[in-house]
C-alpha cells in the first residue's frame, strides 16, 4: 500500500521569547504511515505527542526535518487531514448539528445531504435529542463527542486524533473505540490516535508508537496483529494476542515514566 504520511528527521524546539531558552520537544523523529493504517501514540506527558500531531495537521510550522502527506510537504492545514484536539474545539455559537455539519457546509454540500449525514453521526456518537443545543448546554463528554462527530462527518482521508476520548465516561469510551474500529474498517481512513490509555492504544492500533520522555524520540513500535473485525472488547481480555501486546506497551511506557520520576 502507498505511504500516506512520512515524517523524517523531525526535530522541534519551541522558542521562548522572554528567556531566550527553548524547549526541545521532538528529537529526530522518523515515522512512515501507510494508507489505511491505524497508528496509536503513547508516551509520558509533555514528551511531544501533541507537537507531532499539530505539525502533521499543518498548524505548527517546523524547521528541521521533512513531513509529507501523499508525497507533498506539509506547510499548512488541508481538507484531506481532519483533527480532533485534546481540548474539544467546537464553535460555541453553533448548535450540535451545525458544529457537526460545519465541514460539509464549508464544502458546499447541499442541505438535504448534509442533514442526512449529520443525523447519522449524531446517532453514532449518541447525541440524539441534543441536536439543537449549544456547547454551553452540554457536558464535557458531550462536547468531545460533538468534536469527534464533526471530524468524522467531514470525511477526511487522514484523521489526527489527540486524546479524543479522554473526557468521556468509561462506557461511552468503549463504545466510541469499537465504533472507531468499525469506521476504520468501513472507510479505510489513515488514523493517528494519541492516548494515555495503554488499553486503548493496544485495542485500536495496527501499530503502537511509544515515545520516550522529552525530548520525544520514538522508543519502540509495537505491532498488534489482530484483525480489526475481531476487535471487540468483550473478547479482548481473554485474548492473549491482545493482553501480551498491551503488557509489552505498558512496560515500555512505564520505563519512561519511572525514569522521569527518579530524576
Going by their DSSP bridges, the two strands 38-42 and 218-223 should be labelled as: unpaired
50 sits near Mg ion (criterion: CB under 5 A):
yes
Determine if 48 is a binding residue for ligand ATP (CB under 6 A): yes
Q: Is the peptide bond before 215 cis (omega within 30 degrees of 0)?
A: yes
Location of C-alpha cell 468531545? 144
Task: Indicate whether 54 belongs to the interface with Mg ion (CB under 5 A).
Answer: no
List the one residue from 3, 11, 28, 46 that touches ligand ATP (CB under 6 A).
46
Instruction: Rule CB under 6 A: choose which of 4, 49, 88, 150 binds ligand ATP.
Output: 49
Q: In what order do the strands lie in the sheet with 72-73?
A: 23-34, 3-14, 64-69, 72-73
Residues 6+ apart with CB under 8 A from 116: none
Among 8, 9, 14, 254, binds ligand ATP (CB under 6 A): 14
Asked if 51 interacts with Mg ion (CB under 5 A), we say no
Binding status of residue 25 toward ligand ATP by CB under 6 A: yes
Window of 45-53, 201-209, 211-219, 227-235 that interacts with Mg ion by CB under 5 A? 45-53
Shortest distance (Å) from residue 52 CB to ligand ATP: 7
Nearest approach, Cβ of 162 to Mg ion (angstroms)?
6
Work out which of 51, 97, 177, 195 binds ligand ATP, going by CB under 6 A: 51
Q: Which stretch binds ligand ATP (CB under 6 A): 40-48, 118-126, 143-151, 250-258?
A: 40-48
Write b or e for each residue in 91-125: b if 16 or more Cβ atoms lie within 10 A of its Cβ, otherwise e: eeebbbbbbbbbbbeeeebeeeebeebbeebbebb
- Residue list 214-233, contact with ligand ATP (CB under 6 A): 214
Task: Provide the minimum distance between the beta carbon of 242 and ligand ATP in the complex, in angstroms, as a whole number.
Answer: 23
Backbone phi, psi, residue 117, to 5°: -65, -45
Nearest CA among 204, 85, 83 for reference residue 143: 85
Beta sheet of 81-84, edge-to-edge order: 81-84, 158-162, 190-194, 38-42, 207-211, 218-223
The answer to whether 40 contacts Mg ion (rule: CB under 5 A) is no
Q: How many residues bind Mg ion (CB under 5 A)?
A: 2
Alpha carbon distance 164, 184 (integer Å): 15
Please give the residue ranges that form the binding site for ligand ATP (CB under 6 A). Answer: 14, 23, 25, 43, 45-51, 86, 214
Chain residues in the site for Mg ion (CB under 5 A): 50, 86
Amino acid at each position: 500500500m502507498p505511504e500516506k504520511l512520512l515524517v523524517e528527521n523531525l526535530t522541534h524546539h519551541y522558542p521562548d521569547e522572554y528567556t531566550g531558552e527553548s524547549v526541545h520537544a521532538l528529537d529526530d523523529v522518523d515515522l512512515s504511515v501507510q494508507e489505511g493504517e491505524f497508528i496509536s501514540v503513547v508516551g509520558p506527558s509533555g514528551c511531544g505527542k501533541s507537537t507531532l500531531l499539530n505539525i502533521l495537521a499543518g498548524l505548527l510550522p517546523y524547521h528541521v526535518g521533512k513531513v509529507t502527506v501523499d508525497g507533498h510537504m506539509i506547510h499548512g492545514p488541508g481538507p484531506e487531514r481532519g483533527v480532533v484536539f485534546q481540548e474539544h474545539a467546537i464553535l460555541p455559537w453553533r448548535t450540535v448539528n451545525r458544529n457537526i455539519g460545519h465541514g460539509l457546509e464549508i464544502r458546499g454540500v447541499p442541505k438535504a445531504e448534509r442533514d442526512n449525514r449529520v443525523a447519522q453521526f449524531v446517532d453514532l456518537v449518541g447525541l440524539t435529542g441534543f441536536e439543537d443545543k449549544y456547547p454551553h448546554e452540554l457536558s464535557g463528554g458531550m462536547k468531545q463527542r460533538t468534536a469527534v462527530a464533526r471530524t468524522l462527518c467531514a470525511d477526511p482521508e487522514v484523521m489526527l486524533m489527540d486524546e479524543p476520548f479522554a473526557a468521556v465516561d468509561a462506557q461511552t469510551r468503549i463504545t466510541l473505540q469499537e465504533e472507531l474500529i468499525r469506521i476504520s474498517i468501513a472507510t479505510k481512513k489513515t488514523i493517528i490516535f494519541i492516548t494515555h490509555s495503554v488499553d486503548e492504544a493496544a485495542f485500536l492500533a495496527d501499530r503502537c508508537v511509544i515515545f520516550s520522555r522529552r525530548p520525544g524520540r520514538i522508543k519502540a513500535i509495537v505491532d498488534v496483529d489482530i484483525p480489526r473485525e475481531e476487535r471487540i472488547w468483550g473478547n479482548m481480555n481473554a485474548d492473549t494476542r491482545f493482553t501480551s501486546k498491551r503488557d509489552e506497551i505498558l512496560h515500555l511506557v512505564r520505563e519512561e515514566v519511572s525514569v522521569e520520576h527518579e530524576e
